């Protein structure tokens, strides 16, 4: 059958989704999960004032959103002590990452990231025809020296670093990240993904400095603020670098409800502190559950815990499958070396009660 031809880049790509959602797994199995602990969402949800702002914003659903996202950018600027022209807003960190790659890495250009790091970033890199170069983790952390060496060796247009990290939950202190920032070549764009930053220990995030044209700091409302479904994230950077987004971004991509919710969320300092505390408590409980089953929880600065199952990827995969069959949705790293782990998001008490009850069965079944 004659049909329009794909572009050469698109024709070479697989038809894939970077993350298989729990909804797809439920459709395949014909059963709903009883605990959703795999997508690193905040089961604590947004603050009540944010929910109210969302409800009020539905009255303006007949209107297009502000294409300049003016009030949200100004609110973010005030929150971070920067100028409004030093921040841009997009459809979650995922959307912003796609724009970054489109702007700074063309077909054939080199991009450096960690092997086993955030797969949606890789999806964008290959989607725009750039060449991905990966650096293995060391001791379950992203290898800063290795990333820097690869960046120089490949003359990379972009280097990506997540701090704190997904999928391992590990992190580097601010001093180490700052040294990395200063060492990245000025012609390389550093994408510093801080999606989990609000949940990290004090001293993890370097002070914001918008004077460097080659650094973009990425933040989101999907994690600590509990609004993953609204798709709202942002980038902080030097004003000229930020203005480049006006060349490619979807100016109506962040809807009225998302903008209103994000503005309200920024002011809910007490609620954010409560979520951070509840997240830490849930991490501690997940760790205790893991240890009670002979597994090793890794230190985490995020809203999930990576758990070392003590054997290989096949065994960890069997534990994951066993939990899924018992109604508990989790995920796991897939890269060799990291794939010995499963990854469990924090949840409400009822979610963790079910995880605690089902994990011994899943581990026992996996060991057969």
d(CA 18, CA 94): 11
What pLDDT does residue 368 have? Answer: 65
d(CA 217, CA 195): 9
Full-prediction pTM beyond 0.85? Answer: yes
128: which 2 tokens?
A: 């725009």
Q: Give the chain's domains with CATH numbers.
A: 8-45+270-366 (3.90.1150.10), 48-268 (3.40.640.10)
User: 158-162 and 110-114: which strand pairing?
Assistant: parallel
Residue 190 φ then ψ, to 5°: -95, 120
- Write down the H helix ranges in the chain: 8-11, 22-29, 48-57, 70-80, 92-104, 119-127, 144-154, 174-183, 239-243, 256-266, 269-292, 313-325, 349-366
pLDDT confidence band for 312 (50 / 70 / 90): very high
Does residue 64 have a pLDDT over 90?
A: yes
What pLDDT does residue 18 have? Answer: 85
* Percent of the residues in the chain that have a pLDDT greater than 70, as a whole number: 100
What pLDDT does residue 346 have? Answer: 98
170: which 2 tokens?
A: 């590990």
- What's the mean pLDDT in 69-95? 98
What pLDDT does residue 117 have? Answer: 96
Angle between helices 48-57 and 256-266 (to 10 degrees): 150
Does residue 162 have a pLDDT over 90?
A: yes
What pLDDT does residue 20 have? Answer: 86
| pLDDT tens-digit series, residues 188-231 | 999 999 999 999 999 999 999 999 999 999 999 999 999 999 99
- What's the mean pLDDT in 23-41? 95
pLDDT confidence band for 265 (50 / 70 / 90): very high
DSSP bridge pairs for 342: 307
* Percent of the residues in the chain that have a pLDDT greater than 90, as a whole number: 98
């Amino acid at each position: 059958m004659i049909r329009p031809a794909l572009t050469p880049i698109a024709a070479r790509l697989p038809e894939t989704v970077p993350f298989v959602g729990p909804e797809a797994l439920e459709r395949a199995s014909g059963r709903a999960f009883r605990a959703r602990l795999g997508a690193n969402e905040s089961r604590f949800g947004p603050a009540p004032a944010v929910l109210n702002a969302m409800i009020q914003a539905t009255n303006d659903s007949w209107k297009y959103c502000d294409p300049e996202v003016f009030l949200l950018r100004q609110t973010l600027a005030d929150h971070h002590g920067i100028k409004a022209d030093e921040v841009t807003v997009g459809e979650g960190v995922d959307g912003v990452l796609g724009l970054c790659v489109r702007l700074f890495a063309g077909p054939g250009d080199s991009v450096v990231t960690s092997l086993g790091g955030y797969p949606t970033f890789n999806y964008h890199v290959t989607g725009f025809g750039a060449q991905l170069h990966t650096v293995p983790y060391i001791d379950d952390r992203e290898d800063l020296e290795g990333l820097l060496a690869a960046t120089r060796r490949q003359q990379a247009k972009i280097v990506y670093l997540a701090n704190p990290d997904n999928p391992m939950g590990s992190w580097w202190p601010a001093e180490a990240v700052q040294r990395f920032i200063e060492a990245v070549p000025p012609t390389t764009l550093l994408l510093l993904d801080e999606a989990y930053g609000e949940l990290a220990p004090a001293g993890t995030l370097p002070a914001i400095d918008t004077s460097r044209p080659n650094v973009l700091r990425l933040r989101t409302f999907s994690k600590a603020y509990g609004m993953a479904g609204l798709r709202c994230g942002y980038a902080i950077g030097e004003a000229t670098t930020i203005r480049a987004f006006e060349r490619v971004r979807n100016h109506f991509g962040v809807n009225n409800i998302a903008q209103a919710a994000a503005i309200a969320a920024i002011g809910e300092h007490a609620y954010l502190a409560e979520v951070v505390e509840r997240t830490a408590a849930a991490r501690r409980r997940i760790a205790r559950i893991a240890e009670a089953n002979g597994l090793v929880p890794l230190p985490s600065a995020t809203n999930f815990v990576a758990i070392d199952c003590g054997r290989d990827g096949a065994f960890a995969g069997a534990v994951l499958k066993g939990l899924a069959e018992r109604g508990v949705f989790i995920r796991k790293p897939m890269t060799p070396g990291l794939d010995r782990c499963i990854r469990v998001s924090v949840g409400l008490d009822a979610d963790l009660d079910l995880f605690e009850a089902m994990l011994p069965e899943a581990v026992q079944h996996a060991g057969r």
